[in-house]
């Protein structure tokens, strides 16, 4: 039986439509559209989305897909070859370097911004300053009542990001363990693990007993930021662009982007733009700390 010509044309049209590239939203994209996959740190995800949106407006032939999931998730995807650029709010671990190397590539690190981790409490909590040692003792369970640090006679509820979060790893190593390599202090088993920075903010806002930590870019007026001293007897500082850049605020870190091997031309152009004045202006706008002079 002969198939009518118009039926052949319909079949060919359907096949071509199925093969056409599509965006994450499902709309058909022109075949000459170039794409970048960017995944990782939840701390960085809003920043990465703003970067992508602006850069795409300057480069209409490019689509940048941005997703979160945590620093570990992004770096794992980089090792698996399923993303072009991984975002991380901590430096890459030795075993992750080995995982990328297993595919015959070496991860390349770029510092894209800086961040301060703010210690936050409920606005009705009278405590407004803590030392690093006190924060460590609170999160390890050595201190479990606000009365012990100048507050009211209330139990302390500690909030943390989940373990796949780079912020969780950084906080464990640099705050609970005070940056000491041989220190094995762990989070108290009573610590509540929440999947997002927004979740921590919401819980602190609603719970007068809670203490949490968030990247500076996620802090809102609904919570109170606590001043932090590196050690007893030393000055207390609030997190800000100035105190991060002059190294006086003690809980500050770099935010990273990683490629597997040297970036190709498309990736390098995007990274160069992120580190330009225009890209860093978005960093400042969202409450993070630019890597360039403010």
Q: Which residue has the tokens 């970048």?
A: 36
Tens digit of each residue's pLDDT (9 = 90 or more) over 245-268: 899 999 999 999 999 999 999 999
Domain that residue 188 falls in: 115-252
CA distances from 251 to 75, 245, 246 (A): 23, 12, 12
Per-residue pLDDT, 24 = 39
Take residue 207 and report the two structure tokens written for it: 């719970």
Q: Evaluate if residue 14 carries a pLDDT over 70.
A: no
The total of other beta-carbon atoms located within 10 Å of residue 57's CB is 9
The total of other beta-carbon atoms located within 10 Å of residue 99's CB is 17
Please indicate, yes or no, if residue 4 is contained in any of the structural domains. no
Range name among 22-26, 35-39, 59-63, 108-112 with the lowest pLDDT average: 22-26
Q: Which of 280, 292, 175, 283 minimizes the C-alpha distance to 245? A: 292
In a shared domain, residues 86 and 210: no
Q: Evaluate if residue 29 carries a pLDDT over 90.
A: no
In a shared domain, residues 243 and 133: yes
User: What mean pLDDT value characterizes the chain?
Assistant: 90
Domain count, the chain: 2
In a shared domain, residues 260 and 241: no
Q: What is the pTM of this model?
A: 0.79
Please indicate, yes or no, if residue 292 is contained in any of the structural domains. no
In a shared domain, residues 89 and 57: yes
The total of other beta-carbon atoms located within 10 Å of residue 140's CB is 17
């Amino acid at each position: 039986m002969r198939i009518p010509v118009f039926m052949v044309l319909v079949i060919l049209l359907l096949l071509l439509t199925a093969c056409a590239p599509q965006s994450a939203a499902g709309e058909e994209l022109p075949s000459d559209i170039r794409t970048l996959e960017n995944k990782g740190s939840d701390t960085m995800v809003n920043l990465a989305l703003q970067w992508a949106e602006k850069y795409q407006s300057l480069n209409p032939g490019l689509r940048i897909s941005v997703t979160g999931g945590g620093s570990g998730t992004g770096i794992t995807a980089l090792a698996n070859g399923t993303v072009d650029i991984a975002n991380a709010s901590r430096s890459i671990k030795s075993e992750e370097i080995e995982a990328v190397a297993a595919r015959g590539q070496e991860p390349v690190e770029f510092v894209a911004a800086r961040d301060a981790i703010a210690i936050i409490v409920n606005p009705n909590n009278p405590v407004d300053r803590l030392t690093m040692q006190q924060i460590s003792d609170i999160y390890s369970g050595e201190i479990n009542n606000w009365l012990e640090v100048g507050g009211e006679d209330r139990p302390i509820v500690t909030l943390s990001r989940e373990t796949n979060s780079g912020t969780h790893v950084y906080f464990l190593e640099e705050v609970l363990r005070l940056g000491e390599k041989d220190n094995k202090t762990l989070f108290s088993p009573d610590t509540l693990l929440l999947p997002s920075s927004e979740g921590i903010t919401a819980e602190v806002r609603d719970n007068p007993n809670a203490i949490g930590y968030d990247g500076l870019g996620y802090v809102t007026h609904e919570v109170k930021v606590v001043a932090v001293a590196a050690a007893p007897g030393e000055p207390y500082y609030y997190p800000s662009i100035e105190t991060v850049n002059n190294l006086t605020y003690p809980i500050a870190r770099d935010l990273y982007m990683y490629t597997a091997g040297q970036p190709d031309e498309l990736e390098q152009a995007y990274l160069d733009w992120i580190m330009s004045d225009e890209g860093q202006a978005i960093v400042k706008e969202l409450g993070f700390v630019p890597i360039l002079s403010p």
